[in-house]
Structure 1
Amino acid sequence: MIRNKKEYKQYLKRDRLALEIYNDGIINKLKNLFFPNPIWTFQKRMRKLEYYTNCKNYGLYKLYIYYLKYRYRKISIKLNFSIPINVFGPGLSIVHYGTIVINFTSRVGANCRMHACVNIGASGGEVQGPQLGDNVYIAPGAKIYGNISIPNNTAIGANAVVNKSFSEENTIIAGIPAKVIGKVDIKKIIKYV
């Protein structure tokens, strides 16, 4: 959760590196100006809304927060994301736009790499969503639900249905229902760790 301007800038920097958005050199600057990455635009708006909601939620800033919410919702609908603020740590990399639904009670640590068609949510009647650690890779179509926890340095396989907690780090979780199927060096999957 962003608590001050320094953290806000750090979150933006780590998100930009995770998405491999480079702004050095005239060619990269022109490319980013004329062909902006829509996911990077989404993440910048998300982080800005988080910063103002958490740090500047008083006086006239409240009107500005409503404007930021409007712009955030507009791009969320365009990209088909349903991602509340204050869920992801720094270093978020959403690989493709497409259906992504996240419950507001879920928490995901730093350096998450996530693909399309991912659902992270609470389970029938429960309020609390999943708690994922740092350096988690979530493949396309994964469904993670319930009051569960996923450890650091974990890869979740494509179309996996994760409905129970795991404790061992450096593992691959896959299947329906999900189970540990092997070991993984997360730095080979998430390059920016």
Structure 2
Amino acid sequence: MLDTKNKLKECLKREKKYYITGKKRHDQLVEWLVNDPSVRIWKYQKALRYTEYYFCQKGIKRLPYLWYRSKRNRLGLKIGFEMVEGVFEPGLVIYHSGNIVVNGFARVGEDCQLHGDNCIGNNGTTLEAPRIGNRVDIGVGAKIIGNIEIADDIKIGAGAVVTKSFLTPGVTLVGIPARILKKGENQIGE
């Protein structure tokens, strides 16, 4: 929860390095001027984090929440993201824009990665949504659905549909419905 200015600044500093990649000021300026896809994602994520911060404030200090929420929604509409404040812990990385939907009841741990075209949501019969651990890598087109739990350090392969809990850390999930990829199966790069 980003309830203090220091937590907000620390979170933004931690996440910005994934989006603004130019090493020199000139390169960073070019990224901004050409509206690089990573810059668009960063603008959205920054608005999301400010929304989280101002949501936690009390009284008149909460007024900017409305502005940042509106900004987040406008940017999300342009790049295809639907997320709400309070779902992601610090360290979120989004690699591609387009069609990422995250249920407001979901909880996602630190240093998680979304590769695009993802859905983290309920199963349509209840409001309960996934609880995802730290350092989970969610591949392109992967969907995580229902009142399930995903352990730390799991990789979810492209196109996988996860509808049940996986509590063993460090495994790779593939397929529809998702299953644990066993050693020796067609693993690229091994």
* TM-score using structure 1 length: 0.87
Taking a change above 3 Å as real, the CA distance of residues 182 and 11 of structure 1, as seen in their structure-2 partners, is: farther
Q: Distance in 2 between matches of 1:29 and 1:118?
A: 28
Conserved? CA contact 1:173–1:182, under 8 Å: no
* Aligned sequence identity (%): 36
Shift of 1:24: 5.3
Q: 2:118: which partner in 1?
A: 118
Matched residue type, 1:170: G
CA RMSD of aligned residues (A): 1.6
Is it true that 1:169 corresponds to 2:169 in the alignment? yes
Conserved? CA contact 1:174–1:181, under 8 Å: yes
- Consecutive unaligned residues of structure 2, counting only runs of 5 or more, are 184-190
Conserved? CA contact 1:107–1:131, under 8 Å: yes
Is it true that 1:57 corresponds to 2:58 in the alignment? yes
Shift of 1:182: 3.7
Q: 1:106: which partner in 2?
A: 106
Q: Distance in 2 between matches of 1:170 and 1:29?
A: 35
Q: 2:186: which partner in 1?
A: none
- Consecutive unaligned residues of structure 1, counting only runs of 5 or more, are 184-193
* TM-score using structure 2 length: 0.88
| Partner SS for 2:59 | coil
Q: Relative contact order, CA 8 A, sep 6+: which one is greater?
A: 1
Matched residue type, 1:58: G
Residue from 45, 48, 51 that aligns with 1:46: 48
Conserved? CA contact 1:85–1:104, under 8 Å: yes
| Partner SS for 1:87 | coil
Shift of 1:23: 6.5
Shift of 1:3: 2.0
Deviations 1:48-74 (A, max 9, x none): 1111111x2312x34322111111110
Q: Distance in 1 between matches of 2:53 and 2:9?
A: 10
Q: 1:180: which partner in 2?
A: 180
Q: When the two structures are aligned, how many residues end up with a matched partner? A: 180
Taking a change above 3 Å as real, the CA distance of residues 57 and 35 of structure 1, as seen in their structure-2 partners, is: farther
Deviations 1:126-170 (A, max 9, x none): 222100000010111111011110010010011111000011111
The within-5 A match list for 1:22-171 is 22=21, 25-36=24-35, 37-54=39-56, 56-59=57-60, 61-171=61-171
| Partner SS for 2:147 | coil
Shift of 1:16: 1.4
